[in-house]
Amino acid sequence: MIIGTMRITIHTPWVHSLKEKRMVVKSLCAKIHNKFNVSVAEVDEQDTHQTVVLGIAGVAGDTSQADSILDHVLQYTEGNTEGEVISVERELL
């Protein structure tokens, strides 16, 4: 059993309130969870309007499958948000 984790930081320059940010985060988290069956949560910068930090974790049978899932989650995230992905940290345990 392999646990894949990823931390994605996204810059959202059009967001000017925490309410707008919450709408963006909630929508993106739900889409990722429903499509890939992974756990997703906002893990940092909750009080910063224009920065979204998502933590993603999933379980797979082997390393290549976990890596593939994380690749697909990242591609999906980049394609389904108007924000710019600033950084990505990945770890397989």
For 48-90, write each residue's pLDDT tens digit. Answer: 989 999 999 999 999 999 999 999 999 999 998 889 999 999 9
How is the chain split into domains, by residue range? 2-92
φ, ψ of residue 90 to 5 degrees: the values are -125, 150
4-50 residue pLDDT tens: 999 999 999 999 999 999 999 999 999 999 999 999 999 999 999 89
Give the model's pLDDT for residue 86.
96
Token pair recorded at residue 45 = 């910068």
Taking CA atoms, 75 is separated from 41, 60, 68, 81, in Å, by 17, 18, 11, 11
- Residue 19 burial class via C-beta count within 10 angstroms: exposed 0-12, middle 13-18, buried 19 and up: exposed
Query: CATH class for domain 2-92?
Result: alpha beta
Contact at 8 Å (CB) between 88 and 8?
A: yes
Question: Would you report the helix, strand and coil content of the chain in percent, each value rounded to 5?
Answer: 40, 40, 25
Contact at 8 Å (CB) between 92 and 3?
A: yes
pTM higher than the cut 0.75? yes
